[in-house]
């Protein structure tokens, strides 16, 4: 028995059982070394790309005489390819590492991908000889020669910015998977009008991928799609203005505003009318990444507590808000008397801070609360500079 290989397969299957349950259910699959396994997409994000590819393909209205074809120039472990390729009549997997190609040749038939072609070669070399295809997919390697992570597009291999024109000459649609660490506004600008759609994909409220769809046109305002599990919000980038609608002065007028941002405000919170603002909303990770907070205000009956808080309040419950929702029980400033009333009966609480001078650990120590329980405290700063703490209960499916 090859013990190192056996241990590698056990570890790979254990990761796959969490990350790729469909794959883990197939007997006989071979799993790669640790790094490709860590870098590969999850089942959710791979399925998302497959649905996206299907829609894009339908929009291209490919003739029956031209079978739909996909080329994945950065195959890796083949997870994205395995889901996306099912949408196409012909699919080509390209990978420079021979060991991954051997694994792909073994795994694809087990997964039912009999139409898949595996090419062991450099992506740019294959691109030079490639004929016309329906779609090209790339997931540029985000590690340098020393194994360190890289994020800038130019530092990844292959350099999609350099290859952009050649890619679009070969395919009318190019899908690129990039690091969620990138600033998507700058990234779109770097592609100089070639970005048709931007997809910010999250699962479990953790941002996983930034997907760009490149096209042959010139796109001044790409479609932006924020997807977090089943929550999806889309808008045209040009519609996302910088005019934030914060809670109005009439609704949240402070009698005395803070003189310094570094000190904790102790004014009364009575002007933050908790009898009116009964619900608190926290956008999901994809929307936080997109920064489309004004779109939320335009589409839902919510109002910013302040432009930098990224927390919203509403007078009525909102069933389809793309994020977490909470029922507001009470609101206080950092005034000792108000805090004492707010914390009455509490020994445990889940604490979050947004645009607040204390960290979670510092605030927890100050409030003398243990972690956990059913109460959620949000500490933030309102539009008038007052530091507030909101005591809430989490809502599920429109109810507590």
Tokens 């299957």 belong to residue: 13
Which class for 80: exposed (0-12), middle (13-18), buried (19 or more C-beta within 10 A)?
buried
Least confident of 19-23, 45-49, 86-90: 19-23
Contacts of 112 (CB under 8 A, 6+ apart): none
| E strands in the chain | 69-72, 90-95, 116-120, 135-138, 173-178, 195-203, 206-215, 223-228, 231-236, 279-283, 303-304, 312-314, 323-333, 348-354, 370-381, 387-395
Q: What is the pLDDT of residues 35-60, one digit of tens each?
A: 777 778 899 999 999 999 999 999 88
Mean pLDDT of 12-32: 90
The reported pLDDT for the residue numbered 310 is 92
Nearest CA-CA partner of 234 in 201, 209, 191? 201
Per residue in 335-387, pLDDT (tens digit) is 999 999 999 999 999 999 999 999 999 999 999 999 999 999 999 999 889 99
3-state secondary structure of 97: coil
| Residues 77-104, mean pLDDT to the nearest whole number | 95
The per-residue b/e assignment along 81-98, b for 16 or more CB within 10 angstroms, e otherwise, is: bbbbbbbbeebbbbbbee
Cβ contacts of residue 281 below 8 Å, gap of 6+?
300, 302, 311, 312, 313, 314, 318, 321, 323, 324, 325, 326
* pLDDT score, position 36: 78
pLDDT at 400 over 60: no
Query: What confidence category does residue 190 fall into, taking pLDDT thresholds of 50, 70 and 90?
Result: very high
Could you give the CA distance from residue 232 to residue 283 in angstroms, rounded to a whole number?
12
Q: How confident is the model at residue 1 (pLDDT cuts 50, 70, 90)?
A: confident
Q: What is the pLDDT of residue 248?
A: 33
Tokens, residue 213: 């769809």
* Mean pLDDT in residue range 302-330: 92
Predicted pLDDT of residue 396? 76
Helix (H) or strand (E) holding 55: helix 43-60
For residue 175, pLDDT over 70 is answered with: yes
With a pLDDT cut of 70, the percent of the chain lying above it is 86
List domains and CATH numbers for the chain.
3-239 (3.40.50.150), 249-395 (no CATH)
The residues, any chain, with a CB within 8 Å of residue 87's CB and separated by 6 or more, are: 50, 53, 54, 57, 68, 70
d(CA 49, CA 90): 17
Predicted confidence band at 275 (pLDDT cuts at 50, 70, 90)?
Answer: low
Q: What are phi and psi of 209, to 5 degrees?
A: -145, 150
User: Which residues are within 8 A (CB) of 5 and not within 5 positions of it... i.e. 6 or more apart?
Assistant: none
Q: Is 102 exposed, middle or buried (0-12, 13-18, 19+ CB in 10 A)?
A: middle
CA angle 213, 216, 219 (to 5 degrees): 70
Closest CA to 115 of 74, 138, 82: 82
> Mean pLDDT for the chain?
86
């Amino acid at each position: 028995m090859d013990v190192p290989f056996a241990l590698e397969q056990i570890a790979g299957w254990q990761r796959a059982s969490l990350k790729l349950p469909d794959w883990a259910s197939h007997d006989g699959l071979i799993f790669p070394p640790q790094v490709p396994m860590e870098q590969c997409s999850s089942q959710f994000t791979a399925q998302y790309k497959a649905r996206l590819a299907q829609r894009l393909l339908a929009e291209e209205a490919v003739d029956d005489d031209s079978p739909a074809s996909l080329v994945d120039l950065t195959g890796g472990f083949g997870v994205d390819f395995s889901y996306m390729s099912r949408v196409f009549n012909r699919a080509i997997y390209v990978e420079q590492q021979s060991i991954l190609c051997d694994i792909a040749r073994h795994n694809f038939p087990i997964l039912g991908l009999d139409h898949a072609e595996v090419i062991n070669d450099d992506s740019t070399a294959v691109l030079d000889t490639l004929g016309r295809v329906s779609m090209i997919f790339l997931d540029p390697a985000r590690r340098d020669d020393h194994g360190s992570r890289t994020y800038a597009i130019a530092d990844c291999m292959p350099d999609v910015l350099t290859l952009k024109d050649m890619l679009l000459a070969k395919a009318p649609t190019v899908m690129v998977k990039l690091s969620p660490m990138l600033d998507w506004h700058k990234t779109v600008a770097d592609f100089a009008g070639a970005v048709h759609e931007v997809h910010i994909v999250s699962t479990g409220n953790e941002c996983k991928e930034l997907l760009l769809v490149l096209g042959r046109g010139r796109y001044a305002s790409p479609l932006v799609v924020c997807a977090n599990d089943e929550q999806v919000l889309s808008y045209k980038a040009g519609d996302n203005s910088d005019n934030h609608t914060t809670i109005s002065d009439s609704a949240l007028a402070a009698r005395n505003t803070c003189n310094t941002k570094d000190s904790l405000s102790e004014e009364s919170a009575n002007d933050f009318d908790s009898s009116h603002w009964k619900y608190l909303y926290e956008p999901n990770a994809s929307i936080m990444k997109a920064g489309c907070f004004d779109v939320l205000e335009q589409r839902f009956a919510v109002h910013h507590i302040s432009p930098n808080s990224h927390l919203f309040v509403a007078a009525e419950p909102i069933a389809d808000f793309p994020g977490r929702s909470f029922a507001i029980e009470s609101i206080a400033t950092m005034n000792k008397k108000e805090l004492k009333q707010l914390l009455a009966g509490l020994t445990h609480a889940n604490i979050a801070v947004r645009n607040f001078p204390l960290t979670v650990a510092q605030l927890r120590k100050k409030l003398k609360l243990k972690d956990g329980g059913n109460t959620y405290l949000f500490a933030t700063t309102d539009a008038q500079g007052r530091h507030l703490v909101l005591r809430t209960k989490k809502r599920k499916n429109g109810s507590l």
